[in-house]
Each structure stands twice: as structure tokens, then as C-alpha cells.
Structure 1
């Protein structure tokens, strides 16, 4: 039976450390500031933004939500991003996904100052991560949280076979780079991968971020593997479940994340910690 990774408890520890860093910045007269650009009325996005703001403000971070109607134009959003780029009280900028179809998310992300790119999606920061460049730069928050989880639970990475199911810029691609940089042997799979189950059964560490409820069952997992479930799916009854059949796979794995209460809290904690990173790098001249 697998040990269950407690993402909520670990996120509390990360937030406590972040709060200490915020207090030290306050002694220097500095308050980290986050700007969240929210477009439309997607219920999940609105809840997520409110959750981030509540947690940020509890910890002493300034948090602004720039909210736009569904009909907002790209020019309006670009002007707002430029204003936040110039605003010295804002250290971190993010564009909340999903966006309406008429908006180009890549274009908007590319307009964010790379030194304020708290999500780590700007191509300059992605390139630095891919090339394992030295120095300070943000990385995608969910992969950052996953790496912190594995470190906390003493999961050794060098030489391990890692299979990532999902190739998005949010999770799969940056996580692949982080794993390679940690000397793991990495395979990344997607919906076109043939014989996916045969591949996932080779994984010492299996990370699933495909957006398909319960697509991974017990027969898809190597006995003793570490299983990280990034998926968030809502059933007809309103229950949140992951991409992994938790009840079945926990009998096979050695470590497993639940949904909810696994990766999700660590994503938010990582975003808040990274906003403080960006603030510290700025005032210390370490960008």
C-alpha cells in the first residue's frame, strides 16, 4: 500500500518559509506584489484567483486582480501588461488560463517582462531552463511544486526512469527539463503515444498530466513506482478526481498524490514563493 503524499501539509511548510522571507523584506520596506489578469467568467478561474489572492494577502503580499469581460481585446490586455511591467510595486505578473478563443495566450505571455514572469512561461525563461543556464529565473509553478514534493519525500532522481504523460507548457515540457537537469532518464508521452501502458509500466516515477479522468489504472503502473497525479477532473456529481485511479493504484505504488490535496496546493505555494524570489532577485540585483 502506497504512502500518500500530503500536498496540503507540505504547502503549509513552504508557505511558512515564504512568510518568513516576506517579513524580512518588510523590514527593508519592501512588499512583494502580484498582478493576476483574469478574462471572462470561467467559474474555476475566478475561484482560483480569489484563492490565490486570499492566501497572498494573508502572507503579506500585495495581490491585484485585473478583471476583464469576455469581450476584452488583446490590445486592452497588452496595455495592462505593459502597465504592470513598468509598475515598480508589481514583481510578478500572470495571465489566468483559460482565455477566450479570440485571445492569443502565447502573445500575451511573451509580452510579460521575463523578470516578472511568475509562471515561468516566457520563452526566455523556458530557454534558460532547457539549457540549464546558471543564474536566477522562474520556472513553471506546478513542476516546481512536484520537484519539491519529490525532494521532501526523499525520492532519488539520478538514473531513475521517469515517464511524463502530457506535453503541455504548463507541466510536461518544463518538468521534462527539470528532470533531465536532475540526471533522470525521461520519456514524455502524449495522446499519440502507442502502447502507452507498456511505457508507463517502465516508470520508476510516473507523472500524469493528461486531463483524462482515471486514465491510469493499477495495470499501468510498475509495482513500487512513485505516482504523481496532476489531473483535475470533475465528475457528474461534482467530485474532483485525477487522471489516476487512486483507489486502485495506491495498492501498487510506493508513493502517490491524491486529488484533491496533492499537487494543487503545492502549485499555489510555489507561485507565492516564486513571487518572493522575483522580488528578492530584483532588490538584490541578482536578476
Structure 2
């Protein structure tokens, strides 16, 4: 009799004790060297300037500009801010934007109907559904309806599948993973042949990041909530990308001296002194990482701006493809 299949659908719930060891034998002796900071804002501004020039050229040549539609369900504070940033970025680049806001308790058919309308609208070249959706909505079903040719978030099963397969090319690469690798490349970080660890295996960041790093010929290991000795595995990596959503998970003893650390985590923490009433904390303990790593990204201001820039880039590419504009 064949052994039972193991489910791959276990939720990625990081246990409270999933932290680095505090025993003296596991502690690195931190020196005073400070890591270089990968400035995502600066790189993002360069990319967005190029996109704005391309959009302007498109408008002059054919009288049309790219159009991006966003569907947001509910009133999650982080989602609202992310959408606001995306819309502002579209305006600055000359890209038309359309937002459909639905209540948290909306029916699945309401989300699907909004998607179908945007699928058919010729002025819309990119569509994104702001994730995560409320639990009563079937995220898989919703994304299946999204037009492959307008899937600028890169989450359609065919886009992810083509990203995973050698010899195939996805129409779009998910924005955050694409932004992570863009940061590495533009900063002159060598990826080919390097050991890379991705912490987290979500469909949004962890999984596609691991696939994309493999495409760039890194040797990739994924750490998830059931991984034994995660700090030991991470401390052997040349490149660490953390997307677990656990504040300060990655401590100094998780990092190989001289490693490159990309922090994707953005956990909101209440802070009345901030404009929005909260501040973002990354997965990486920055104060310790900067004394061990050679390069590290800040939170905020690291990967976040690149995610938005990659969304604009994907939307422009989609419009050029649909409108046959070169």
C-alpha cells in the first residue's frame, strides 16, 4: 500500500517560539562594522522616472496611456495605505487608475463581477486584487477569473507555473519578488552560484522569490514554520530574503558575516507619534543585522518602494503588449 500523501496546504502560522536561540553558544560576537543600506526609494525613483517617460511617449505617439484597476475588499488599514500609495504612483507616472472598493462582508460574486468588468474593459491593461481577501472569500477562485493578460501582480496560476518551469516565460513576475531581485542586481550583488535562503513560502512572496532566485542560478533553501534549526540554515546563506511577517525574527546569529539581507516583512505596530497611527517593523532585527551583514534593506524604505515600481513596470509592459506599442 502506498504511503498517504502529505498535505502541502498547511497554514504558515509561525509559532511564538520560532525565534533564534539565546544560548551563549549560538551568539555571534558582533563587531562595530555597519552594513551598506540598499536604498529602495532611490532605485524606485530611477525606475519610475523611466516609466513616466515611456508613458509620455506612448501618449504622444498613439494618444493612449496604460490603465490600472485595483479591487480592494474591506477596510484593512495596511491594504488601504498600500492602495493609496499605488494610486499616487500611477498619477505621478501618467498611468490612469481605477479603484473599486467593496465592503468586508461582500459576496464573492461581487468581487468576481468587478473583475469581469475590468477584464473586458479595453482601457484597462492591468488588474490587481489587493490581498489578503477576507476569509469568507475564495482567493483561488477569484484569481482564476482574472485575465492572464492583465495579471500585473503575477499571481495567476499560469504565471506562477511558467515562472517555475525551465524554458517557459511568465507574462508577469510578482511585484515584490521582482523588486527584491531588481534591488540585488542594481546594487551589484552576485546571485549566480550563491547560497540563498528565503524565509517564508507564501504564494505572494516566498514561493515566487525562491523560483526567481533559482532562475538567476542561486542555490535556494526555504525556511518555514516547521523547519528544524532555521538559524543554522540561514547563517550559511550568502543571501537572505525574509518574508515571514514576524517582527525581529531574524537576529544577528542568523546571518553569515558579509551576507546580503533583504527584509520583506512589514508588520504594523501601534505608534501614536506616527502620522498613520502606527509604524512598520521588519522581520530582521536591524540593529544586529547591520553589524554582521554587508548589505541590508531598511523597513520601511527598502523593498516596499520597489514593489510599487514593479507594479507600474508590469502595467506599462502589459499596455505595450496589448496596444502593440514599442
How would you bin the TM-score normalised by the shorter chain?
over 0.9
Alignment partner, residue 137 of structure 1: 171
Write out per-residue CA displacement over residues 85-116 of structure 1, whole angstroms, 9 at most, x where no aligned residue.
Answer: 11000000011112111111111111100110
TM-score by length of 2: 0.85
Matched, 1:24 2:64: no
1:1-287 superposed matches below 5 A: 1-27=34-60, 28-135=62-169, 137-237=171-271, 238-284=278-324
Residues 36-45 or 251-260, more deviating: 36-45
Change in 2 beyond 3 A, CA 1:26/1:132: farther
- SS of 2:159 mapped into structure 1: helix
TM-score by length of 1: 0.97
The answer for unaligned runs of 5 or more in structure 1 is none
Change in 2 beyond 3 A, CA 1:234/1:79: closer
Query: What's the CA shift for 1:236?
Result: 4.1
Change in 2 beyond 3 A, CA 1:136/1:207: closer
The 4+ residue runs of structure 1 with deviation greater than 4 A are: none
Query: What's the CA shift for 1:133?
Result: 3.8
Write out per-residue CA displacement over residues 25-58 of structure 1, whole angstroms, 9 at most, x where no aligned residue.
Answer: 1122221001100111112211211121111012
Query: What's the CA shift for 1:280?
Result: 0.9
The answer for unaligned runs of 5 or more in structure 2 is 1-33, 272-277
Change in 2 beyond 3 A, CA 1:220/1:135: closer
Higher-Rg member (1/2): 2
**CA distance in structure 2 between the partners assigned to 1:233 and 1:282 by the alignment:** 37
**CA distance in structure 2 between the partners assigned to 1:208 and 1:97 by the alignment:** 19
